[in-house]
Amino acid sequence: MTANEKFDIFIAYYGNENTGSERYAHDLYEYIKRCDLYPGRKIKAYFHPQTHPYGKFEETPTIVATTPMFILVVDKNIQNAFDGQISRYRKDGSFSYLYDEVSAFHSSIMYKLHGGEQASRLLVLDDFDFIKAASLHPIFGGKTALTSNEAVVDWIKHFYNNAYIERLYIQYKKMAAENKNEFIKGNWVLEAEEILGYTGDENIARSLIIYYVMRANTGNENALVHLRRLVDVMHRRCYNGDSISVNTRELIDKVVTKYL
């Protein structure tokens, strides 16, 4: 794990290999990391014993808060650890880091931005009762529990290929309109460029074009290189038979006329 590394999903578990769901969570991690999110881009999952084996569990809530998706792996033995709901302390009086992780995601901007309805799930194994599982924490209530590693990967792909990208675009658009300083600071650009590279999404391209126009207006010559690249990306889409909106065509025409 590197400093400031970002992940697609956080895999949470309780206990250890002998008294909890760590073994199941490890199996899920090994399965996920072999799967493509997009062609040529593997899913990046955070599973503490493997991703950050020498790190402290006290650090995990910070990682949770910046990760868009959260899954908790549970089995029926979790009833031996908690009394109905996940709490700060287990039945035996020991401290629960899982409580901090779930709470961190529940209160995170990621949960609010991406709609907790879509962003958090349970992987329920060992015939654990679904109703009891859903009552472990409010972020899992009223949601369909998953029962296999394959189902988890399908959920991840659906999230990133549809709702996630649409919400990101809305976020970028709102930032450009209401907080231009934060928008032009560009902390979001690396993520947007990555998504554009794998999906070719028109709205993400529009956001990036607007960003580089703003940078060009400040005299940043490198921004012109990026504008030329993005215009070429959109032109190739048209050449390959993909349609783009009238608004995007007009934006490209203005960029070409004024900057290129």
Tens-place pLDDT, residues 55-108 = 777 788 999 998 989 999 999 889 888 888 898 888 888 888 899 999 999 988
| Maximum Cα interatomic distance, the chain, rounded to a whole number of Å | 70
Q: Which amino acid is located at 144 in the chain?
A: T
Higher pLDDT, 70 or 5: 70
Contact, 137 vs 131, CB < 8 A? no
Question: Is 32 a residue whose pLDDT tops 80?
Answer: yes
Count CA within 13 A, CB hemisphere, residue 34.
7
In the structure, what pLDDT confidence band is assigned to residue 9 with cuts at 50, 70 and 90?
very high
Mean pLDDT over all residues of the chain? Answer: 88
The type of residue at 200 is G
**Domains recognised in the chain with CATH numbers:** 9-158 (3.40.50), 179-259 (no CATH)
Query: For residue 192, is pLDDT > 80?
Result: yes
Q: What is the mean pLDDT of residues 103-119?
A: 77
- At 142-169, the pLDDT tens digits run 888 999 999 999 999 888 876 778 888 8
pLDDT band at 231 (very low <50, low <70, confident <90, very high): very high
Q: H/E element holding 45?
A: strand 45-46
List helix spans (H) across 69-200: 97-106, 109-113, 116-119, 130-134, 149-158, 164-178, 180-185, 189-199
Read off the tokens for 162: 């549809």
Residue 233 pLDDT greater than 90, yes or no: no
Q: Which residues pair with 95 in a beta bridge?
A: 89
DSSP symbol at 223:
H
